[in-house]
Structure 1
């Protein structure tokens, strides 16, 4: 969704930004999915470390679209881009991941993949209650919860 949005906006040079120092396993799986999914469609995607961008801010000039591993890093990337003279959502696009209500209020110009937190919590609680009621039974993983993409306002 994030890569499609960036392409739709006209971004030609897109990179996936990694924050290896703070990357949980679930994020690694998501990132592998992004890279694999784009590769199957024939889209190349650069991968760059956040630490490298911080050390060498001129690297930002190589890209006009970035996919951040979460909303907090996305906001940091927006700030770096602004500092280098780029105009967010005009000549430079950044997408995040999580889409919390707080982040949507604080930064409405951030495009982000929104996790349905309440639905995820409901499924988790139902699964835990099922396991408590039937401790010896193998509980199947619930169906995936669909995410949505929030465009900037």
Structure 2
């Protein structure tokens, strides 16, 4: 059984509650977060997370915004950036 959470913040809360209930992570339950910005590295146990490419996202957004301004607001299309699974101690 594994909890797949919408953010690392939620995942840390799930880990804490499971530990308060006496569960052993990852033996009894796995927990996966989403963001990979900071909390995944400081939680105990260290959190498995889906890391978003934050800096690349910011660069792309800035480029698209500047193009939109230069092109009088014309649509800029879509860009898809791949997240990465970072396996740590909260899953087996």
TM-score by length of 1: 0.54
- SS in structure 2 of the partner of residue 138 of structure 1: coil
After TM superposition, where is structure 1 displaced by more than 2 Å over at least 4 residues in a row? none
Distance 2:9 2:81 in 1: 22
Alignment match, 1:109: 46
Q: Following superposition of structure 1 onto structure 2, how do residues 94-105 of structure 1 map, counting pairs within 5 Å? A: 94-100=31-37, 102-105=38-41
The answer as to 2:60 corresponding to 1:135 is no
In the TM superposition, residue 91 of structure 1 has moved relative to its aligned partner by 1.8
Note the residue ranges of structure 1 that are not aligned, 5 or more in a row: 1-63
Note the residue ranges of structure 2 that are not aligned, 5 or more in a row: none
Which sits farther off after the overlay, 120-129 or 105-114? 105-114
In the TM superposition, residue 138 of structure 1 has moved relative to its aligned partner by 2.5
Distance 1:79 1:136 in 2: 47
Alignment match, 1:149: 85
Distance 1:141 1:110 in 2: 30
Q: Quick check: which one's helix share is greater?
A: 1
TM-score by length of 2: 0.87
In the TM superposition, residue 149 of structure 1 has moved relative to its aligned partner by 0.5
Alignment match, 1:11: none
Deviations 1:102-153 (CA, angstroms, capped at 9, x unpaired): 21331262111000000100110000010111114322122x0000001115
In the TM superposition, residue 90 of structure 1 has moved relative to its aligned partner by 1.8
- SS in structure 2 of the partner of residue 128 of structure 1: helix
Q: Identify which of structures 1 and 2 has the higher relative contact order when contacts are C-alpha pairs closer than 8 Å and 6+ apart.
A: 2
